[in-house]
Amino acid sequence: AMGNWLVNHWFSAAVLAAWLGINIFLFTYYFLFFDQDDRYFYTRAILGSALAWARASAKCLNFNSMLILLPVCRNLLSFLRGTCSCCRRTLRKQLDHNLTFHKLVAYALALLTAVHTIAHLFNLERYNQSQQATDGSLPAVLSKMHLQDNKWLNPIHSNETTVEYMAFTTIPGLTGVIITLALILMVTSSTEFIRRNYFEVFWYTHHLFLVYFAGLVIHGIAGLVRGQTEQSMAEVHPHRCAQYLTQGDQNCTHNCCKDPEFGSIPAESWKWVLAPIILYVFERILRVWRAQQKVVVTKVVMHPARVLELQMQKKGFRMEVGQYIFVNCPAISPLEWHPFTLTSAPEEDFFSIHIRMAGDWTERLIDTFQSEMPRIEVDGPFGTASEDVFQYEVAMLVGAGIGVTPFASILKSIWYKFQQGDQTLKTKKIYFYWLCRDTGAFAWFNDLLASLEQKMAESGKADFLTYRLFLTGWDTSIANNVALHFDTATDTVTGLRQKTIFGRPMWNTEFAAVAAAHPRSVVGVFLCGPGALAKSLQKSCHQHSSLDPRKVKFYFNKENF
DSSP string, 256-270: --SPP-EEEPPP-HH
Cβ distance 327 to 337 under 8 Å? yes
Quick one: fold of 293-383?
Elongation Factor Tu (Ef-tu); domain 3 (2.40.30)
Q: How many CB atoms lie within 10 A of CB 163?
A: 16
Centroid of chain to Cα 240: 53
Instruction: List, in order, residues 6 or more apart from 397 with CB less than 8 Å away.
Output: 389, 407, 410, 411, 430, 431, 432, 433, 526
pTM of the predicted protein model: 0.83
pLDDT tens for the chain, residues 1 to 561 = 555 566 567 888 899 999 999 999 999 999 999 999 999 999 999 999 999 999 999 999 999 999 999 999 988 888 887 776 666 666 767 777 888 999 999 999 999 999 999 999 999 999 999 999 988 899 999 998 876 667 889 999 888 888 888 889 999 999 999 999 999 999 999 998 898 888 889 999 999 999 999 999 999 998 899 999 999 999 999 999 998 888 866 667 778 888 899 999 999 999 999 999 999 999 999 988 988 899 999 999 998 878 899 999 999 899 988 889 999 999 999 888 999 999 999 999 999 999 988 788 999 999 999 999 999 999 989 887 777 788 889 999 998 877 788 889 988 998 888 888 877 778 889 999 988 877 676 778 888 888 888 888 888 887 888 888 888 876 544 554 444 444 444 554 555 666 678 788 999 999 999 999 999 999 999 888 887 888 899 899 989 988 888 889 998 877 654
Chain region(s) in the chain for CATH 2.40.30.10: 293-383
What is the C-alpha radius of gyration for the chain, rounded to an integer number of angstroms? 32
Cβ distance 272 to 109 under 8 Å? no
Cα atoms in the Cβ-side hemisphere of radius 13 Å centred on 7: 4
Cβ distance 456 to 423 under 8 Å? no
Q: At what angle do helices 50-67 and 269-291 cross, to 10 degrees?
A: 20
First to last CA, the chain: 23
Cα atoms in the Cβ-side hemisphere of radius 13 Å centred on 74: 18
Q: How far apart are CA 478 and CA 84, in angstroms?
A: 51
Chain region(s) in the chain for CATH 3.40.50.80: 386-558
**What's the pLDDT at 259?**
87
φ, ψ for residue 425, nearest 5 deg: -85, 115
Q: Is the peptide bond before 381 cis (omega within 30 degrees of 0)?
A: yes
**What's the pLDDT at 8?**
60
**What's the pLDDT at 555?**
87
Q: Is 13 exposed, middle or buried (0-12, 13-18, 19+ CB in 10 A)?
A: middle
Q: Architecture of 386-558 per CATH?
A: 3-Layer(aba) Sandwich (3.40)
Secondary structure class of 376 (helix, strand, coil): coil
300, 299, 456: which is closest to 369 by C-alpha?
A: 300
**What's the pLDDT at 487?**
47
Q: How far apart are CA 416 and CA 412, in angstroms?
A: 6
